[in-house]
Chain A
Amino acid sequence: MHSLKRIGADFGWPRIIIFLFLVALFLAAPLVGVRVDASLSDVFNRFGQNVFFVLALVPMIQSGCGLNFGLSLGIIAGLLGATLSVQLGLKGAPGFFGALLLSAPFAILFGWLYGKLLNKVKGEEMTIAMYVGFAGVMFMCIMWLILPYTAPDMIWGYAGHGLRTTISVENYWIHILNDFLAVSLGPVFRFPTGEILFALLGTYLMWLFLRTRTGTAMTAVGSNPDYARASGISVDKMRTISVVISTLLGAVGIIVYQQSFGFIQLYNAPLTMPFTAIAAILIGGASVKKASMLNVMVGTFLFQGLLTMTPSVINSWLQTDMSEVVRIVVSNGIIIYALTRKTKVSK
């Protein structure tokens, strides 16, 4: 009994409860007519789709800038890269990697400006970040209409200019990662090997980065800025670097997401994406001040599992469409729970 309590405290009760809930959903799935293999396939796919967003939160948490509620800026950079890639008519792997490359300069610029701003509002980063993200998304709502894109696949047919709300990448780079070395078992289960490998590569690089001199300095800045300064570290520079990396990863994240999802979603779409990522990393056991790669992996898996399974099982059971409601209640509920209760990091 005692050791069970110890395990619970070490791993974190919320994570255990969510894990057990997830297992229960998988057990219940066949009873209400939901295919387990299809669900599993979905979970893996969505894990790969979303893990970069969650990973993007790590550098800013480590440098003491808090949770990146303004991740939308990175997503916007990614959207610019993706639309430019389509505009240039790049297809297949060059299209995907072209989108990544084209988004990088935007992400670096946005991240640098955003970092400068966050350095001026130390202690209030999370609130300001949320407004910066919202404002950025709204500003781009105007820009998507005005920017001189001309590719027929992207613009409104009736007007002749302005980008559509959703743009299919079917003719460009859909499933470029998902189909790489993909493994199919049975009629529906498909393991997105390329996407998962790409996600693991990203996580590994982040793990390496946090062990470099700069990564170490960044963590020290988050832990005690005065100590870092006395050791000759420029606190503002480290924080800016963390914001730039976070924004870059946000851009990578949305492009990976699009190749799997099949569509570029513009206008209001990036508005709430940071929230799901934040909910995931908090479920994973991170705090506002510390996060590890394990937090990222476990959190993304549990949260995406929950998002996949809860609506499908509950919908089949209740015979109504509750998926969006459930998704919002679950993700925002978890953010509230985690922000109010979380005081220390789980292993």
Chain B
Amino acid sequence: MATAAPLLALQNISKDFYGNLVLSDVSFELGRGEIIGLVGENGAGKTTLMRILFGMNVIRDTGGYRGKVCIDGQEVRFQSPFDALDAGIGMAHQEFSLIPGFTGAENIVLNRESMRPTVLNEVFGERMSILDRADMRRRAAGTIAKLGVSLDPDTLVSEMPVGHKQFTEIAREINRERTRILVLDEPTAVLTETEAEVLIQALRKLAASGIGIIFISHRLHEVIDVADRVVVLRDGMIVKDTPTAGVTVRDIASWMVGRHVAADRVGEGVRSFQGDIFQVSHLWVDMPGETVRDLSFTVRQGEIFGIGGLAGQGKLGIANGIMGLFPAGGEVRLHGQPVLLNEPRLALQRGMAFVSEDRRGVGLLLEESLAWNIAFTAMQIQGKYLRPVLGGLFRLRDEAAMRALTEDYIQVLNIKCTSPAQKAMELSGGNQQKICLAKAFAVGPDLLFVSEPTRGIDIGAKRLVLDALHKYNREQGMTIVMVSSELEELRAICDRVAIVDEGRITGILPPTADLADFGLLMTGERVANG
């Protein structure tokens, strides 16, 4: 090699947002053909670091950064993402930036389309060239082959399964001839295990061709699998930078959270319950992508009832349907009394609450204060946090009571924020999730539905969220129905776990049952009920 300089070197990078230090003195290097796994809790600074690397406007608008980014030993300071592209940095985002109405091939070569001159070029110049679709298709197919995945370049992006979208996004980045550094932000989060496996194979192939890859993921076993080195960020600092050989998932997890991860189920025997609180029979819910067909179950007073299953099988539809957010039918009884479906207000008034899986879409008022977010439902449904004025003529928001309530929850749930007046959108994912929980707790429900409570949040925050549910269940006797894709967390805190397949419950098992039994249920095999 001509120079000893690494492909990419970050030197002493620091960044603060309005005095709030999010990165402090971060340095690491990426060599040619090397794959680095970058891990850290949400809010550890991964995204900010990548934004600096990519020259995003938001960094410059908030006062720039300190430290140096060097490529091939030369310092670069990007003014915009275009500069970063020109310098050979490609990035596949967590949220896809693809054009749904275009085919895979069109997306892959977007803005670098092959052109064919026409007669109009003589007069009007280059802009009058027409697309050379055959060549575009050939180039796209070549790139897909380089990735080593099976992907039809002629399918519209809007019709692709989510895994193929991810491959298209990556293919677009490596199609650029100069791309030498590829940043992948949570590329496997939306993939099934087999798709993730294919992606990892593809990344190895790319690395072998000399591209340096930064792989950001919460799935630690994949990081160990694919990366040559793992860099662990915690609270804006690099706490570990080590080759992956010999490192275990448990090691990385404890570096990330900086404390010992409480491993397994809280040690207690099988609890006994008296009486049923909630019966569902023959429920159907028309929720796009999560259709519930014919589903029945009973929840006992005071238990934590888990519902698991693969994505798209209808487990998310259950709570959304019962709470009236999607059209539903069937018979639902709470405390033996029938619940009228399709009326969110009635469901809430009957003493049920719901923490939605769509945190930013349904769960939060992003532009309003934390106090509003937490107190709103209780105010609207139960008339809490209002004070009478003019001799009870009408009632106004009781800002002081809302603030006190919010401060309580900030303390109890350990929410990291500057004050109850902070806007919800400024919080990290885990803390937003805690706000959603606080909103539901504030209603004081008899029955709480929690949908995907730990989706997209880091290990430390996951533990806190699960602990909060556990605590409210034990201390306040709140019955909880928890829907989650993560079998491990269902087994960690639930008293019983039901598995949903094709809109029906295939079986209910105790959490201590063998993993293989759960696996069988998820694939639609019926086994003995627990």
Contacts of B273 in A (CB 8 A): none
Stretch at the interface among B134-142, B289-297, B363-371, B522-530: B363-371
Is A223 a contact partner of B325 (Cβ separation < 8 A)?
no
Is B348 a contact partner of A232 (Cβ separation < 8 A)?
yes
B391-415 interface (Cβ within 8 A of A): 394-397
Is A213 a contact partner of B365 (Cβ separation < 8 A)?
no
Contact partner of B380 (CB less than 8 A), chosen from A208, A211, A223, A233, is A233
Query: CA separation between A208 and B395, bound complex, in Å?
Result: 9
Q: B57 an interface residue at 8 Å Cβ cutoff?
A: no
24 A-B pairs within 8 Å (CB atoms) are namely: A208-B396, A211-B396, A212-B386, A212-B395, A212-B396, A212-B397, A213-B383, A216-B372, A216-B376, A216-B379, A216-B397, A223-B368, A224-B361, A224-B362, A224-B364, A224-B366, A224-B367, A229-B325, A232-B344, A232-B349, A232-B380, A233-B345, A289-B367, A290-B367
Contacts of A232 in B (CB 8 A): 344-349, 377, 380-381
Nearest A residue to B367, CB-CB: A223
Q: A220 an interface residue at 8 Å Cβ cutoff?
A: yes
Contact partner of A230 (CB less than 8 A), chosen from B362, B383, B396, is B362
Contacts of A219 in B (CB 8 A): 368
Contact partner of A217 (CB less than 8 A), chosen from B349, B354, B380, is B380
A226-259 interface (Cβ within 8 A of B): 226-227, 229-234
Distance in Å: Cβ of A342 to nearest Cβ of chain B = 15
Contacts of A217 in B (CB 8 A): 380
Contact partner of A231 (CB less than 8 A), chosen from B366, B381, B395, B396, is B381
1/0 contact string of B310-351 vs chain A (CB within 8 Å): 000000000000010100000000000000000011111100
Q: B175 an interface residue at 8 Å Cβ cutoff?
A: no
Contacts of A211 in B (CB 8 A): 396-397
**Which 5 pairs show the lowest CB-CB distances between chains A and B?**
A232-B345, A231-B377, A211-B396, A226-B362, A232-B348
Query: CA separation between A240 and B349, bound complex, in Å?
Result: 23
Query: CA separation between A216 and B354, bound complex, in Å?
Result: 21
Contacts of A229 in B (CB 8 A): 325, 344
Is B372 a contact partner of A230 (Cβ separation < 8 A)?
no
Count A-side interface residues using an 8 Å CB cutoff. Answer: 20
Interface size class, chain B: 20 to 34
Contacts of B354 in A (CB 8 A): 230
Query: CA separation between A320 and B383, bound complex, in Å?
Result: 61
| Known A-B contacts A212-B397, A231-B344; A224 and B365 likewise in contact (beta carbons under 8 Å) | yes
B interface vs A, CB < 8 Å?
323, 325, 344-349, 354, 356, 358, 361-368, 372, 376-377, 379-381, 383, 386, 389, 394-397
Nearest B residue to A289, CB-CB: B367
Distance in Å: Cβ of B192 to nearest Cβ of chain A = 28
Q: A208-B394, A212-B396, A216-B379 are in contact. List 4 more A-B contacts (CB 8 A).
A: A213-B397, A232-B344, A232-B349, A233-B345
Contacts of A234 in B (CB 8 A): 345
Contacts of B372 in A (CB 8 A): 216, 220
Query: CA separation between A213 and B386, bound complex, in Å?
Result: 8
Distance in Å: Cβ of B196 to nearest Cβ of chain A = 30
| Known A-B contacts A212-B396, A213-B383; A220 and B362 likewise in contact (beta carbons under 8 Å) | no
Is A230 a contact partner of B397 (Cβ separation < 8 A)?
no
Query: CA separation between A224 and B361, bound complex, in Å?
Result: 8
Nearest B residue to A226, CB-CB: B362
1/0 contact string of A87-126 vs chain B (CB within 8 Å): 0000000000000000000000000000000000000000
Contacts of A289 in B (CB 8 A): 367
Contacts of A230 in B (CB 8 A): 323, 325, 344, 354, 356, 362-363
Is A227 a contact partner of B365 (Cβ separation < 8 A)?
yes
| Known A-B contacts A223-B367, A224-B366; A231 and B376 likewise in contact (beta carbons under 8 Å) | yes
Query: CA separation between A21 and B348, bound complex, in Å?
Result: 54
Contact partner of B395 (CB less than 8 A), chosen from A213, A223, A233, is A213
Distance in Å: Cβ of B316 to nearest Cβ of chain A = 14
Query: CA separation between A219 and B373, bound complex, in Å?
Result: 12
Contacts of A223 in B (CB 8 A): 365-368
Nearest B residue to A223, CB-CB: B365
Nearest B residue to A234, CB-CB: B345
Distance in Å: Cβ of B331 to nearest Cβ of chain A = 21
Nearest B residue to A227, CB-CB: B365
Nearest A residue to B343, CB-CB: A232
Contacts of B396 in A (CB 8 A): 208, 211-212
Nearest B residue to A217, CB-CB: B380
Is B348 a contact partner of A231 (Cβ separation < 8 A)?
yes
Query: CA separation between A231 and B386, bound complex, in Å?
Result: 17
Contacts of A212 in B (CB 8 A): 386, 394-397
Contacts of B381 in A (CB 8 A): 231-232
Is A227 a contact partner of B362 (Cβ separation < 8 A)?
yes
